[in-house]
Amino acid sequence: MFEKQDTVTGAPAETVQGLVKWFDPAKGFGFVVADNGGPDILLHVNVLRSFGQSSVADGARVEIKVQQTDRGAQVAQLLSITPPANLPPVVIERAGFDADTLSQTDLKPARVKWFDKTKGFGFANVFGCYEDVFLHIDVLRQSGLADPQSGEALAMRVVNGERGYLAAEVRAWEAVVGEE
């Protein structure tokens, strides 16, 4: 594979750590603030898609390769995403499910049926299961995601709650496949 290069200087892209300032999937871009300061770094949706996601939560920690272009700094490659810290307890914990039990639940392949970020929820379908799985925005944020698109492939840990199935953990499908 070819090493990404800075389009201005021709040098290899610099590895940087920082926080996602904001990302808007409808616009197709957002910005990262580097830990070491400097101008905001453009994050384009195509870079996220290459990582296997179509969105990222505001405040998520990222490790990125940055290149300088005629238009400024931009993310050339996304190396890792860590969900935002200090989030409120997710729906699953409020429903009385503990983390140890959840960690032993298998990740299941799923596709987003629909998700409305404004409402803060949506539904997904797990392969081989005819019932919809409730998908809450807090669970997505806890997983480093923010606004999955209809048809997007995900891996989910699913629990059966009082009102039916709900996602306890959500991960990008490509991230799970890469672990095997």
Residues 95 and 173 in one domain: yes
Residues 75 and 99 in one domain: no
Residues 112 and 155 in one domain: yes
Domain housing 77: 14-82
**Residue 180: is its pLDDT beyond 90?**
no
- Model-level pTM greater than 0.85? no
Q: Is the residue at 47 inside a domain?
A: yes
Q: State the Cα angle at 19 between 33 and 122, rounded to 5°.
A: 125
Burial degree of 46 (CB within 10 A; 0-12, 13-18, 19+): exposed
Q: Is the residue at 8 inside a domain?
A: no
Residue 125 CA neighbour count, 13 Å, CB half: 10
Q: Is the residue at 156 inside a domain?
A: yes
Cα 83–chain centre separation? 8
Structure tokens at 178: 């890469």
Q: Is the residue at 3 inside a domain?
A: no
Distance from C-alpha of 28 to C-alpha of 43, rounded to nearest angstrom: 9
- Ranking 74-88, 110-124, 126-140, 153-167 by mean pLDDT, the lowest is 74-88
Over the stretch 134-157, which tens digit does the pLDDT of each residue have?
Answer: 998 888 877 778 788 888 888 888
Residues 54 and 107 in one domain: no
Q: Is the residue at 9 inside a domain?
A: no
Q: Is the residue at 4 inside a domain?
A: no
Over the stretch 4-25, which tens digit does the pLDDT of each residue have?
Answer: 655 555 667 899 999 999 988 8
Residues 98 and 165 in one domain: yes
Residues 125 and 48 in one domain: no
Over the stretch 85-97, which tens digit does the pLDDT of each residue have?
Answer: 665 545 555 556 6
E-state strands within 25-97: 29-34, 41-44, 61-69, 72-82
The last residue of a domain, from among 64, 82, 100: 82
**Residue 51's CATH number:** 2.40.50.140
Residues 63 and 95 in one domain: no
The last residue of a domain, from among 30, 55, 82: 82
Q: Is the residue at 164 inside a domain?
A: yes
Identify whether the C-beta of residue 164 lies closer than 8 Å to the C-beta of residue 134.
Answer: yes
Q: Rounded to the nearest 10 degrees, how much is the dihedral formed by the CA atoms of 119, 124, 129, 132? A: 10
